[in-house]
Structures are given as structure tokens and as C-alpha cells.
Structure 1
Amino acid sequence: MKKIFKLSLTAVALAVIAGSASAQTTGIKSTPHNLTAATGTGPNRQSSTEQICVFCHTPHAANTSASAPLWNKAVPPSTGYTTYSTANSSTIDGQVLSVGSVSAACLSCHDGTQAMDNLVNAPGSGGLVAAGSNRPYTWTVGAETISATSVANLSKDLTNDHPIGIQYCGGGLSGSAAVVSGNCKDGDFVRPVTQNINNTQVFWVDTTNAGSRTKNDIILYTRTFSAGAGPSVECASCHDPHVPSKGSDNIAFMRVTTSGSQICLSCHTK
């Protein structure tokens, strides 16, 4: 009986390891953000380095001006962008700030002004250029910049894209500890929740009922508006750059599936 019991434990352990390995393969390695030639799946791949994370992150000498962890690219200036505003919709009743926060980090690749291999700290010794520099990488598929005809190239004209840097639900909200104060100026939005994490006020729209913020919630980013600090909608509110497709619609990088417009209805009460 003891031998059978040991074998059973071994089988369980192997199953857990196999399950963990399977879970790991569904991360960024399986998305178009993997730019390596050996395992990349997207339209752009290069053969100069097999490091996946280096095109966004570096463990040392990161760009601290970016509102993204250990950012490895120069962040574009906030000027020169044209954002979605009242010129696009007369129903907008929240303040729209200039491009900033985590959205600036996203646009450092997706506004089409900077090569994808323009890095602050390239792999290997002596690869640091604090201001960022184009690297002489060899691209086996695609090119250094995202194609001008690709939706992934947003350009600096953001008037045909979901607004970013905009007060969630028209503004009117603030918070302290775990309580959201005030009321949404626009009632056609789901009320967010808030929490104090590492002495910082954070807001999110709870889509998981987990009781705490998760990557599958709509993440709101605290920015300073004319009325004070409050929740803002940014690129990463809806997008998680590390995950493959979510749901049967097979659209990558979504925090909530677009099936049945669930991603839209998470915030908009329509």
C-alpha cells in the first residue's frame, strides 16, 4: 500500500508540474508581443536576441519617467497628440488630460514614431544608452516599426480611438481608504471600487467579484484633474499586454472578453 501511495503522490506532483508548465505557455510567449524568431507568433520577429521581455522591460537602468515598471524605452513627449474629445462626441462630460500615465508607455511602441528595437538597455554588456537608441537588430519577419497600415500603429492622431486620460464616468469621484466618495457625473457608468495599496489610492471596475483588484478587472489609473485626484481611463484599463486571447473571439491583450461586448458593458451601462 505504501508503494502505491507513493506512486499516487508522484503522479499528482507530475500533474501539477505539467499544469504549471501549461499555464506558463499561455502568457506573453504566446502573444504578438513576443518578438523573438524562435518562438514568436506575431507579424514582427527578429533574430538578434531571444529575450522576450527586453523590448519593454529591463532589470537595471530603467527609464524612471515612465509610469510602467522597469520601462526599457524612451517615453514620447505628451505634446503632438490629438486625443478624443468633445470634438468627437458632444456627450463627453469628463476632463481629458494630455497623454501621460501608463498610456505614454504603451504609445512608446504604438504611436509609430519610434522603432520597436529602440531600447534604453539592450541585452549584454555595454548596451546602456539612457536616452534610448535604435539597435542594429535583424528582423526576419516584419520591420522595426509597426506597419503604418496596421491598427496597432495608432499614430499620434488618437481621435478615432477610445479616449485615454479621461475622467472615469465624467468625474465627481474621489476616495480614501476603501471608500469611493462622490457620485459619477454621468450615470451611464458602473460605479468603481477603490482601495489603498502601498499608500496609494487605486480604483478599478470590479468584473470578477474577487474582493480585491485583479488583472481581469478594468483597471483605472489615478491622475490629477482640475477637481483633484481621481480615476482615469488609460490604455491599460482595458488591455493587459502580457496575455493571449481571452474568450472565443480570439482577440489578444483584453482584460475582459469582447464576446457579447462584455468589455464595453463592464463600464458602460447600456
Structure 2
Amino acid sequence: MIRSVLIATLLSCVSALAFAEPPPFDPNKILGSKHDFTGLNKRAGVVAMPGVAFSDYGTPCIYCHLPDDKTIEQNKAKGGNMQWNRFVPATQYYNLYDSRTLDNKVKTPSSISLLCLSCHDGTMGVDMTVFKPNGWVTSEDEALHLRLNGADDLMSCGKCHNGKVAHSIAIKHIGTDLTNDHPISMTYAGLTHVDQHFNPPDTPNGFDNGVKLYDGKVECATCHNVHNPDVGLLLRVKADKLCETCHIK
């Protein structure tokens, strides 16, 4: 009964999403951004997200980051992803990008890109964290634990976010087929200063314009800054300048 009421509430509220005015953004903070899950109700102008579509943990950090009192060892023992408060996705289902010109081929994404994929591949609920906040009572949690998935079912955000009832989430749902996406988790070809098709980075950590490398590798967060809502698609630099940061055209 309670679940039916929650579903009805969600369906009745999301139609207002397209008309909501977002609050001012601070580019230096996650608060107010699209990754601030605790602030989505305010952004949408309706009580339809935290506590209904997914659990409201009261802080945006815990959806990705380990609590301060937990260790990587404790996290890994529960199936967690290194220093991130998310479970490791079923990597055997990923189909990674490949081509005859790709020198640095990988079998599975690195932990930092698995963090992103754990939501954006659409296989796990966006609130499916390894650890919950202190004092959290799971038995009292009545959220639907929706997945960032475009499917037309009650376990997926796409049930309402289909471009008709509310804005489409299609661009946010990457899925497990990554063959048509930019390759990730491979060593950046420009590090050696030998490949004439790539610019050498300004520092071992990346480029002065904000594009980053992680242990010398290209990851999701190389191009995307999840904390900065001011640039379209959360890009570290504007789209017309992004590709030429690495690629020599």
C-alpha cells in the first residue's frame, strides 16, 4: 500500500519538473548541482526525488564517497569499489571501445570510472551505497531505489523521465555497451611525447585548462567535472575546445 502511494506521488509530481527554475549555482561546490541528490527536490520544485525515487541520506557526499570512519579494506570486504561508497558493477557485462589504432587496450574500467558507471550504466539504484549514514534505519526506508535507466518500468527513472512526462534521461543512461563512447582507463598516449597525434600534458596530472589524468590514464573524470554544474554536460572545458586539448587536429 505504502509503495503504491509512493509511486502515485512520484507520477503526480514529475510533470512539474520541466517548469521548475533551478537555484543559483556555486561552481566550486557540489551543492545545487545535478549530483547533489539531496537538493533535487529543490531543483525540481516538487517532492518527487529524495525519499521517494531514492533514499535521502541527508548529505550529497555519501552517495559517492566513503564515510570518514570507514576504510578501503572494510569497503572492499563488502564488495565496494576501493575508496568509493559504491558497489563494483558487474564488469563482465561491459563491452569496451576498441579499434585497430587503439594501442592501450584495457579489459575493465578503473575504479574511478567504475564509480561513474555504477550509476550511469543503469544497473544499480542511484542510492545503492555500501555504507549508509550513521543512525540510518533501513527498515524505515520506503524509497523506490530507482536506477538511472531509460527503461519503461517502475524500477527505472525512464518510467517518467521519457521526454513526455518529464525531461528525458537518455543522455545520462550510458548502459553497459561502451563501444560507441570515448575509450576510458587506458594510459594517455601523449605521456610518452612520442605519439605525434596527441599533445603532451602540462603536468603528470593533466592540462592547465583543467582536463585531468588519473595515474596517467584517461577516465570519465578526465573530461567531466561532476562538481561543476556551470558547463554543459559537466565538461571541464567547453565542448569546442575539449577534444583539441588532447588530440592534435
Aligned pair partner of 1:255 in 228, 236, 240? 236
Shift of 1:219: 1.1
When normalised by structure 2's length, the TM-score is 0.66
Which segments of structure 1 move beyond 6 Å, counting only runs of 4 or more? none
When normalised by structure 1's length, the TM-score is 0.62
The alignment status of 1:84 with 2:97, answered yes or no, reads yes
1:237 maps to which residue?
Answer: 222
Q: Which amino acid aligns with 2:187?
A: Q
Q: Which amino acid aligns with 1:60?
A: D
Change (3 A) 1:154 1:25: closer
The alignment status of 1:219 with 2:201, answered yes or no, reads no
Tell me if the contact between 2:25 and 2:229 (Cα under 8 Å) persists in the aligned partners: no
- Give me the identity figure in percent: 32
Q: State the distance in 2 between where 1:102 and 1:257 align.
A: 22
Q: Which has the higher contact order (CA 8 A, sep 6+)?
A: 2
Q: Which amino acid aligns with 2:31?
A: K
Change (3 A) 1:263 1:137: farther
Tell me if the contact between 2:30 and 2:36 (Cα under 8 Å) persists in the aligned partners: yes
Q: State the distance in 2 between where 1:183 and 1:51 align.
A: 43
Secondary structure of the residue aligned to 2:248 is: coil
Q: State the distance in 1 between where 2:212 and 2:44 align.
A: 27
Q: State the distance in 2 between where 1:145 and 1:42 align.
A: 21
When structure 1 is superposed on structure 2, of 93-102 and 233-242 the one drifting more is: 93-102
Q: Which amino acid aligns with 1:114?
A: M
Q: State the distance in 2 between where 1:73 and 1:113 align.
A: 12
Shift of 1:106: 1.1
The alignment status of 1:27 with 2:20, answered yes or no, reads no
Tell me, which stretches of 5 or more residues in structure 2 are unaligned? 1-23, 151-168
Q: Which amino acid aligns with 2:186?
A: I
Q: State the distance in 2 between where 1:257 and 1:135 align.
A: 43
Which string of whole-angstrom CA distances, capped at 9 and with x for unpartnered residues, describes residues 84-133 of structure 1?
111xxx432333342123111111111111111112222232669xxxxx
Tell me if the contact between 1:27 and 1:244 (Cα under 8 Å) persists in the aligned partners: no
Tell me, which stretches of 5 or more residues in structure 1 are unaligned? 1-21, 129-133, 174-181, 195-201, 208-216, 223-230
